Chain A
Amino acid sequence: MAIQLQQVSYTYADRSMWRQTALHGINLNIAKGSLTGIAGATGSGKSTLLQLFNGILKPTEGTVQVLDVTITAGEKSPKLLPLRRRVGLVFQFPEQQMFEDTVEKDICFGPLNFGFTLEEAKERARKAMTDMGLDLALLERNPFRLSGGQMRKAAIASVLAMDPDIVVLDEPTATLDPVSRAELIALLERLCREQGRTIIIVTHRMDELLPYADSWALLKGGELAFQGSGQELAADPAILERCGLTIPQSLRYWQAVSTRFGLGTEKPLLTAEALAERIAAVLEERKNAAGTEEMGSGHE
């Protein structure tokens, strides 16, 4: 397991008038090398949950185990710097964290902090840029002069340059245009499949992640309402509505098609193309079946 949470609660401003429990008794397991989606209505504790993964927040109750580091509430935590390198946390609108005058310097910031030499850092910057599908010519540019999508990718590259085993992203596609969104998700999936990194993505748009995610965690009011595969989610989409989320279109289509044609036991097809093919195949089968039946009846 890459990440294991046992009975984890988190309370903001504990022992003051503004105390506010954001997470409550969470038990969560995230497998190594998997692509996990986390969804939930606004204020359900998604962002708080992410910050537990690299020790930015320490649980007020329970135990968080990330890779080989264990953080237990109330106990002195081990040195967190090495953990921060291995768990890359990309906050919402990561482009707002950029501060250097060139993209290259900004990407090198992380690796240099973790004790790499300048040469190594530059090498990693180039690799991270390539992983994010960015042109290396952009390295010399001022980050404030990039387009929105490029800035977002460069900021994500600045986290990837630390070569983390786990990459955690808080709504990486928010405010991007549809093309950039699809591109970004595809890039992240590649990082997971080809480089074996564990990827965790918080999203408001379940549609764009459903075809790729291995597992899902749904939060509701600071509690874990569901953890399981997309297939389980497809079998009982009502759980989404109970969490205050709308059922993604791809799941609605799949549900309609599977009840209409009785495909309930199959692995859900969650892209328009795959679904169209399946429907065509089903219709073909039916036509053939009907054809033979007709022939049979004609014989009588």
Chain B
Amino acid sequence: MNERLLLGRSIDTGSWVHKLDPRSKITGMLLYVAIILLSTSWMAMGLLAVFSLLVMATTRIPLKYFIKAAKPLRYLMLFIFIVQALSVKSGDVLWSLGSFSLYEGGLRLGAFSVIRMLFLLTFTALLTFTTTPGKLNQGLEGVLAPFKKLGLSPDRITLMISIALRFIPTILDEAQIILKAQASRGADLKELPLKEKARMLVSLLVPVIASAFRRAQDLVYSMEARGFRMDAPRSRYHRLRWGAADTLFVAMFIALGIAVALL
């Protein structure tokens, strides 16, 4: 059990967002991403922040989980900020040292990039927090269905995603056990100097990869044994149902988009 890894783990609080059709949530998220990219002013950012916090609050999931979801990428965000701040040369010069100057525009764009990324991570975490992987996948299949006519196979894509998602926790748990087993044999990653750590990593990676291959093999055999066929028509245990709340949810995002565009 890995507490730090929140990716793809749903937290059931039974809020209205949890009960929405996954298709509406995915559509909402796509709109949200577009809105984030289109908003270029402090006003728009402020509006986005208020909107995001309100929606997050209604999921009844503590805010700290959303923050935790963004935490792993904090250095990337810092990096993006620095690069933007140093490379964009527009607006007033705020500070200069020899041939090097820091512009107001650079700082602003850097800040915007970081804020966008923060919104993107925390808000898309909402999707995985409120939707079980199975439903998410079914929703994705629904959203991708129109592409069938273009020769794209939504089944294939969603199968790939669902298998990948399904095995993340399994492989992590397994890695955890192997980590413990090697620690019991005196290779405790926590207690070793960095150089030794790198060497010990082999003792972790080889067994984990070997077992991932073994699992993949078993999975293929068991799917074949049960006559699995790609693109075969299937009936679903849970049917997706689009209700008034779903329309409302998507409408909220459209309204947000219009507001941001007008600002």
Residues of chain A whose beta carbon lies under 8 Å from any beta carbon of chain B: 12-13, 16-18, 20, 51, 54, 56, 79-81, 84-85, 88-89, 91-92, 94, 96-99, 109-110, 113-114, 144, 158-159, 162
* Residue contact A109 to B187, C-beta cutoff 8 Å: yes
A268 to B65 Cα, complex, angstroms: 56
* Residue contact B207 to A97, C-beta cutoff 8 Å: yes
Interfacial chain A residues near B3, Cβ < 8 Å? 13, 16, 18
* Residue contact A84 to B1, C-beta cutoff 8 Å: no
* Residue contact B181 to A17, C-beta cutoff 8 Å: no
* Residue contact B185 to A159, C-beta cutoff 8 Å: yes
* Residue contact A81 to B1, C-beta cutoff 8 Å: no
Measured CB to CB, the closest approach of chain B to A222, in angstroms, equals 15
Measured CB to CB, the closest approach of chain B to A188, in angstroms, equals 17
Interfacial chain B residues near A80, Cβ < 8 Å? 188, 191
Whether a CB of chain A sits under 8 angstroms from the CB of B177 is: yes
A97 to B211 Cα, complex, angstroms: 10
Interfacial chain B residues near A99, Cβ < 8 Å? 202-203, 206-207, 210
A16 to B202 Cα, complex, angstroms: 31
Q: A13-B1, A88-B184 are in contact. List 11 more A-B contacts (CB 8 A).
A: A16-B3, A79-B191, A81-B191, A84-B185, A94-B181, A97-B178, A97-B181, A99-B202, A109-B187, A113-B187, A159-B184
Whether a CB of chain A sits under 8 angstroms from the CB of B182 is: yes
Interfacial chain B residues near A110, Cβ < 8 Å? 185-186
A85 to B186 Cα, complex, angstroms: 7
Interfacial chain A residues near B188, Cβ < 8 Å? 80-81, 84
- The 6 listed contacts between A and B (C-beta, < 8 Å) are A18-B1, A54-B184, A91-B177, A113-B185, A144-B210, A162-B186
* Residue contact A114 to B181, C-beta cutoff 8 Å: no
Interface string of B220-245 (1 = CB under 8 A from A): 00000000000000000000000000
Residues of chain B whose beta carbon lies under 8 Å from any beta carbon of chain A: 1, 3, 11, 62, 65, 174, 177-178, 180-188, 191, 202-203, 206-207, 210-211
Measured CB to CB, the closest approach of chain B to A239, in angstroms, equals 30
A13 to B9 Cα, complex, angstroms: 14
* Residue contact A91 to B203, C-beta cutoff 8 Å: no
**8 tightest Cβ-Cβ pairs between the two chains A and B:** A113-B186, A99-B206, A110-B185, A89-B184, A97-B181, A91-B181, A13-B3, A114-B186
* Residue contact B180 to A109, C-beta cutoff 8 Å: no
A183 to B183 Cα, complex, angstroms: 28
A159 to B203 Cα, complex, angstroms: 15
A109 to B178 Cα, complex, angstroms: 14
Interfacial chain B residues near A96, Cβ < 8 Å? 174, 178, 207, 210-211
Interfacial chain B residues near A94, Cβ < 8 Å? 181
Interfacial chain A residues near B187, Cβ < 8 Å? 109, 113
A113 to B11 Cα, complex, angstroms: 41
Interfacial chain A residues near B211, Cβ < 8 Å? 96
Measured CB to CB, the closest approach of chain B to A47, in angstroms, equals 9
Q: Which listed residue, A20, A56, A92, touches B184 by the CB 8 Å rule?
A: A56
Q: Which listed residue, B11, B177, B180, B210, touches A17 by the CB 8 Å rule?
A: B11
Q: Which listed residue, A85, A91, A113, touches B180 by the CB 8 Å rule?
A: A91
A99 to B202 Cα, complex, angstroms: 8
Measured CB to CB, the closest approach of chain A to B217, in angstroms, equals 14
Q: Which interface residue of B184, B186, B202, B203 has the most chain A CB atoms within 10 A?
A: B184
Interfacial chain A residues near B62, Cβ < 8 Å? 17
A110 to B185 Cα, complex, angstroms: 5
Q: Which listed residue, A56, A81, A98, touches B186 by the CB 8 Å rule?
A: A81
A89 to B180 Cα, complex, angstroms: 9
* Residue contact A51 to B186, C-beta cutoff 8 Å: no
Measured CB to CB, the closest approach of chain B to A213, in angstroms, equals 23
Interfacial chain A residues near B11, Cβ < 8 Å? 17
Interfacial chain B residues near A20, Cβ < 8 Å? 1
Q: Which residue of B lies closest to A57 (CB)?
A: B180
Interfacial chain A residues near B191, Cβ < 8 Å? 79-81
Measured CB to CB, the closest approach of chain A to B138, in angstroms, equals 24
Measured CB to CB, the closest approach of chain A to B155, in angstroms, equals 32
Interfacial chain A residues near B177, Cβ < 8 Å? 91-92
* Residue contact A51 to B206, C-beta cutoff 8 Å: no
- Given known A-B contacts A17-B11, A96-B207, A99-B206, A12 and B186 have beta carbons under 8 A apart: no
Q: Which interface residue of A16, A89, A94 has the most chain B CB atoms within 10 A?
A: A16
A12 to B211 Cα, complex, angstroms: 25
- Given known A-B contacts A13-B3, A16-B3, A158 and B178 have beta carbons under 8 A apart: no
* Residue contact B207 to A12, C-beta cutoff 8 Å: no
